[in-house]
Amino acid sequence: MDLSTLLAAATAAVAGYLIGGIPWGVIIARVVGGPDPRTLGSGRTGGANVLRALGPRAAAVSGLLDMLKGTAAVALVRLLGLGPAFEVIAALAAILGHSRSPFIGFQGGRGVSAAYGGLLIISPLAAAVVLPLFAVVVLVSRYSSLGSLTGAVAGGVVLAAQVLAAGQPAPYLVYALAGPAMIWLFHADNIQRLLNGTERKVGQR
């Protein structure tokens, strides 16, 4: 690997991580004068916990901005013409930044919105499959975490199929595997609560 490739990879990783690390849930709480989402519910800064802390409007704004972090990270790399491998690096770094933000003591959300935002650029088809599936699972079960886990797997399967059967760039297979794996890892406590029957439902304070 030559120096230019290393610099491109480092640029994609750092940019993705810092963009992903913007803690919109905390910022919105300060703007509206509401409670910091880290002090309530799961203690996370993602949309589901912002909903518990600040209500649906703030949660919608927070979720949208978190999604745009993943989109921006991948779009920036694409605009720089760095190629699919570096798009994947940026997308995965954005997920990590969202979950382990350097701006709030390496706390954060679970990476779902940022992952979806990256998927919108990498595979609009997979993103189109994920959104209604997520909505149906959440509406039926009232578990946001279950919708996220299901959507992550579905998005990964669709993207992997595109790579293997439809000729999409091979590096995207890494995102199809690593993206869902990170989402499931960051949901470890949710998974345990789902198994125990103690997981919080949407709207539950």
Q: Give the pLDDT of residue 204.
A: 61
Percent of the chain with pLDDT over 90: 88
Mean pLDDT of 68-90: 97
CB neighbourhood size of 25 (10 A)? 33
The DSSP secondary-structure symbol of 105 reads T
Helix (H, G, I), strand (E, B) or coil at 6: helix
Q: Give the pLDDT of residue 96.
A: 98
Mean pLDDT of 109-130: 97
pTM: 0.94
